């Protein structure tokens, strides 16, 4: 089974019809196999999505999706060590000076052996991951 990490850029693009990446994200999601994919994300990504969606019509969708991920065991929480690794990478400017949430995502993905990210964020490519749109 392929595990796909859901990034903020990809999730927001799916929820927001006016997002510049909406069409590409929707097409990419549609082209993923109907079976055989496990979708995961991190608590940090969902908090970032929640901040972005705070004053939007899809605010409740974000909260509901977060709960669904948690209910199915697909909401990842970084370990203390992963958080420290992420802060060190952030401080060093690794992966094209990616932000701290991305650095935490990279640490989680490496621990779990996840290679595919539902995003088009260049920082994921710089960190050695495959982006899906």
CATH of the domain at 93: 3.40.50.1010
What is the number of structural domains in the chain?
1
The dihedral built from the CA positions of residue 10, 16, 22 and 27, taken in this order, carries a sign that is positive
Structure tokens at 31: 């082209």
132 pLDDT tier (thresholds 50, 70, 90): very high
Question: Residue 93 has what pLDDT?
Answer: 98
Task: Using DSSP bridges, classify how beta strands 130-131 and 116-118 pair: parallel, antiparallel or unpaired.
Answer: parallel
How does the average pLDDT of the chain come out, rounded? 97
pLDDT band at 56 (very low <50, low <70, confident <90, very high): very high
Q: Round to whole Å and give the CA distance between 105 and 117.
A: 10
Residue 59: domain span = 2-131
- What is the biggest distance separating any 2 CA atoms in the chain, rounded to whole angstroms? 39
pLDDT at 30 over 90: yes
Q: What is the pLDDT of residues 109-128, one digit of tens each?
A: 999 999 999 999 999 999 99
Residues 6+ apart with CB under 8 A from 3: 37, 38, 39, 40, 112, 113, 114, 116
CA-to-CA separations, 87 to 17, 28, 58, 94, 127, in angstroms, rounded: 33, 31, 31, 10, 15
In tens, the pLDDT along 66-106 reads 999 999 999 999 999 999 999 999 999 999 999 999 999 99
Mean pLDDT of 44-73: 97
Confidence (pLDDT) at 82: 97
């Amino acid at each position: 089974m392929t595990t796909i990490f859901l990034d903020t850029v990809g999730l927001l693009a799916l929820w927001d019809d006016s997002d510049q990446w909406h069409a590409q994200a929707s097409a990419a999601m549609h082209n993923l196999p109907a079976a055989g994919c496990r979708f995961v994300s991190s608590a940090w990504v969902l908090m970032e999505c929640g901040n972005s969606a705070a004053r939007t019509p899809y605010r409740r969708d974000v909260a509901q999706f977060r709960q669904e991920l948690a209910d199915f065991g697909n909401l990842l929480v970084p370990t203390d060590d992963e958080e420290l690794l992420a802060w060190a990478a952030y401080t060093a400017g690794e992966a094209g000076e990616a932000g701290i949430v991305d650095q935490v995502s990279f640490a989680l993905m490496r621990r779990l052996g996840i290679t595919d990210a539902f995003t088009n964020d260049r920082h994921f490519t710089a960190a050695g991951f495959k982006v899906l749109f």
